[in-house]
Structure 1
Amino acid sequence: MPVAPPDSIRAFRQLHETGLLLLVNAWDAGTARVMESLGAKALATTSAGVAWAQGYPDGDALPVDRLLDTVEAIARVVKVPLTVDMEGGYSDDPNKVGELAVHVLDAGAVGINLEDGAGSPDLLCAKIEAVKRAAERLALDLFVNARTDVFLKGIGPADKRVEEVLSRARRYKAAGADGLFVPGLKTPAEIRVVTSEAGLPVNLMAMAGLPAASELATLGVRRVSAGAGMAQSILGRVAALTTEFLRDGASAPAPEAGISYPVLNKLMAER
């Protein structure tokens, strides 16, 4: 198995210490290879993109063997650090989540995302603790990015959401989390409070209304994830091209819409 080397693990942690990490989200080895070739310092998977590529819906529905196959395939073709979106861990049993995290590390990743969704923060704390114990037993380092969906799902009164995020951040940090992911958080004033008081590197998700990267850096954000947006755009393009082809046999996409066959083939041959 392509276990990530220690220098890759250290490099990933260092990317969260200063500056702003712009993290693109791949869904298979090909997309990961293209993204790395364009200068990505690290890569993440998108749970939605991986699930859709395998013919499953997003939302803890992907069989874990398909997840592990995808992680291993990506790790085989890239050199930059890879972190994996494990959604809710595909189980409510913290020990099973811990075991899966070890398999993800064995497959070549250096970090994971675990989310609370609409569930209890108690459960995510238990999962983080189990993941850390499982990794430590095998002397494997692991960057756990704890995702809280307070803003994304509109949990609680709007004027209490920052307070709720910070409460969860303290608990997740105590459980062993290394980072805090708050998708849906967009207001500069609220971002500043969270980055100042969370006690963990803060990760946001690219979406409409989010300040520019330069402003996010000054607000103390350490990581911005592309999320599922690229996968949605690509599948939308596939739908458009398919519609054109089925209508009149059109099979030559506009030049700006693709990468040439020779360029792609050469890229996939390189390591």
Structure 2
Amino acid sequence: MKKNIAAFNALHQQQQVLCLGNAWDLLSALVLEQAGFKAIGTTSWGAANALGYKDGEQISFEQVLTLAKNIIANVSVPVTVDIEAGFATEAAEIADNVLKLADLGAAGINIEDSLKHEAGLRAQPDHCHVLEKIRLTLDSKGYQDFFINARTDTYLQLTQPLAATISRGQAYIDSGASGLFVPGLSQADDIRAVVAAIKAPLNVMSLPNLTDVAALQQLGVKRFSIGNALSDATVAFIENQAHQLLEQKNSAGLYDHPDVKTLFK
């Protein structure tokens, strides 16, 4: 277990950007590992959709644990788990949830500062307290290097997010976070500013205007997450094929991909 934690930390320290494949079930995790991804993260959006729910802690934490357990038990690469805002309101409860994932063999988590039962962001001091409690709890149980990826949703919620991102990012790292995750951050000048100000690995998320990993490496980004893009593309493919089947009364389109064709030779 702790071997994967050390390996996951090392992946954030190399010159090459860590490309994180985001899985929503065991099959997608196995496919990502087979494709060559060095680490796998869960996507709360994709996992919720796969279970018939919307994102936003609509599934139970027990379902999160079940998904994490299945993936961790069946892949050899490090796994980090998206726990949204922690599936609890009190810092001690959130820290206990994280500890359960560490005990399963997870190498890290994403935890965000968005509120789940009302609009807005958790107050910065309150979120720092949550991060401090998580780190202290993990350290006390021997998980000193467990990777806490502190996600801030400033770029998803604020009109002028840069200063708040830097303020929160610095405070989160000082509170025990291992890295900073800023979904929605996409402009090169802003990325440079965050990299310069935050003394920890910066994680950004794939967007239609943010896809070039080599360019992000030049800006100092250390981690690139697919997020829910792959699960969304998979659902879109299924929808498209389903419509074609009904409209054309012909399943030929299901065999167009070369890899599918080889299964029937």
TM-score > 0.5 by shorter chain:
yes
Task: Look up the equivalent residue of 1:137 and give its one-letter code.
Answer: S
Report how many residues are paired: 255
Q: Distance in 1 between matches of 2:55 and 2:258?
A: 27
Give the counterpart of 1:39 among 28, 36, 41: 36
TM-aligned CA deviation for residue 258 of structure 1: 7.9
TM-aligned CA deviation for residue 69 of structure 1: 0.5
Identify if the C-alpha distance between structure 1 residues 177 and 252 changes in structure 2 by more than 3 Å, giving closer, same or farther. Answer: same
Identify if the C-alpha distance between structure 1 residues 259 and 131 changes in structure 2 by more than 3 Å, giving closer, same or farther. Answer: farther
Identify if the C-alpha distance between structure 1 residues 68 and 259 changes in structure 2 by more than 3 Å, giving closer, same or farther. Answer: farther
Q: Which residue of 2 aligns with 1:178?
A: 178
Q: Which residue of 1 aligns with 2:117?
A: none
TM-aligned CA deviation for residue 144 of structure 1: 0.3
Cα pair 1:186 1:211 within 8 Å, conserved: no
Q: Report whether the alignment pairs 1:125 with 2:125.
A: no
Q: Which runs of 5+ in 1 are unaligned?
A: 264-271
Task: Look up the equivalent residue of 1:148 and give its one-letter code.
Answer: T
Q: Over aligned residues, Cα RMSD in angstroms?
A: 1.9
TM-aligned CA deviation for residue 42 of structure 1: 0.5
Q: Which residue of 2 aligns with 1:200?
A: 200
Cα-to-partner distance string for 1:88-122 (whole Å, 9 max, x where unaligned): 01121111111110111122211000001232222
Q: Which residue of 2 aligns with 1:234?
A: 234
Q: Which residue of 2 aligns with 1:266?
A: none
Identify if the C-alpha distance between structure 1 residues 132 and 261 changes in structure 2 by more than 3 Å, giving closer, same or farther. Answer: farther
Question: How does 1:78-117 map onto structure 2 within 5 Å?
Answer: 78-117=75-114
Task: Look up the equivalent residue of 2:201 and give its one-letter code.
Answer: P
Task: Return the TM-score normalized by structure 2.
Answer: 0.90
Task: Return the TM-score normalized by structure 1.
Answer: 0.88
Percent identical pairs in the alignment equals 33
Q: Report whether the alignment pairs 1:149 with 2:153.
A: yes
Task: Look up the equivalent residue of 1:243 and give its one-letter code.
Answer: H
Cα pair 1:61 1:90 within 8 Å, conserved: no
TM-aligned CA deviation for residue 200 of structure 1: 1.3
| Bigger shift: residues 180-189 or 234-243 | 234-243
Q: Which residue of 2 aligns with 1:268?
A: none
TM-aligned CA deviation for residue 246 of structure 1: 3.8
Q: Which residue of 1 aligns with 2:8?
A: 12
Q: Distance in 1 between matches of 2:64 and 2:211?
A: 32
Q: Distance in 1 between matches of 2:209 and 2:176?
A: 31
Q: Which residue of 2 aligns with 1:63?
A: 60
